[in-house]
């Protein structure tokens, strides 16, 4: 039994959910998101809640159960609050600036790195060493954050690079004489 899967998902005020043609759509104040429903899972929308249960007792249905419930919860959270990831840039001369639909990064390379901002994602740079990525789709927000971080991962000696806010960088001691 999935402990996560057993809990129903409450629909806050102003959020509606519909199922049509194998697609679950959730509409809220920030927009609309949809999810392809798994065949082994049954979805019931009633009394302002969405209940996710396995359709049969196969191993596949039980293994999908908790994940599908979490994906539906992410849809509801996305259309109500949205998701945000914050990246911090550490290093002398490392900086970021948002320019229209591009994010310009200066990361110690001989050239500037331009990252295109996809639709549905908003990137802000409150200062030169902080990048705030926000949107309603959790997967897109996490993916673009990972792609930006991949340009210069934090290194263990000085901690230079791009890291998530709150991420712990294991530090190593340098060479000794």
In a domain, 176, yes or no: no
Which structural domain range is residue 50 located in? 3-80
121 with 143, same domain: the answer is: yes
Give the per-residue pLDDT at 177: 80
In a domain, 34, yes or no: yes
pTM: 0.88
3 state DSSP class of 70 = helix
Name beta bridge partners: 103: 98, 115
Given 33, 62, 80, the domain boundary residue is 80
Pair 49, 113: CB distance under 8 Å: no
Residue 24: which of 57, 73, 66, 81 has the closest Cα?
Answer: 73
Helix or strand run (H / E) with residue 3: helix 3-6
* Rounded CA separation 164/158 (Å): 16
Q: pLDDT tens digits, the chain, 177 residues: what are they? A: 678 888 999 999 899 999 998 899 999 999 999 999 988 899 999 888 999 999 998 999 999 999 999 999 999 999 999 999 999 999 999 999 999 899 999 999 999 999 999 999 999 999 999 999 999 999 999 999 999 999 999 999 999 999 999 999 999 998 888
Residue ranges of alpha helices (H) inside 81-162 are 138-149
* CATH number of the CATH domain containing 115: 3.90.930.12
Q: Which residue has the tokens 């960088």?
A: 169
Q: How many separate domains does the chain show?
A: 2
In a domain, 174, yes or no: no
In a domain, 51, yes or no: yes
125 with 140, same domain: the answer is: yes
Given 61, 80, 99, the domain boundary residue is 80
125 with 138, same domain: the answer is: yes
Residue 117: which of 105, 103, 131 has the closest Cα?
Answer: 103
70 with 96, same domain: the answer is: no
């Amino acid at each position: 039994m999935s402990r996560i899967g057993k809990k129903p998902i409450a629909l806050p005020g102003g959020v509606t959910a519909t199922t049509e043609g194998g697609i679950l759509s959730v509409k809220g104040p920030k927009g609309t998101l949809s999810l392809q429903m798994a065949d082994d899972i049954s979805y019931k929308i009633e009394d302002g809640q969405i209940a996710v249960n396995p359709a049969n007792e196969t191993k596949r249905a039980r293994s999908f159960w908790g994940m599908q419930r979490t994906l539906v919860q992410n849809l509801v959270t996305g259309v109500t609050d949205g998701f945000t990831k914050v990246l911090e840039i550490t290093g002398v001369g490392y900086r970021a600036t948002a320019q229209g639909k591009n994010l310009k990064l200066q990361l110690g390379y001989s050239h500037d790195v331009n990252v295109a901002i996809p639709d549905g994602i908003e990137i802000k740079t409150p200062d030169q060493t902080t990048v705030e990525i926000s949107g309603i789709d959790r997967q897109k927000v996490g993916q673009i954050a990972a792609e930006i971080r991949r340009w210069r991962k934090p290194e263990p000696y000085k901690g230079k690079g791009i890291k998530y806010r709150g991420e712990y960088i294991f530090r190593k001691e340098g060479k000794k004489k």
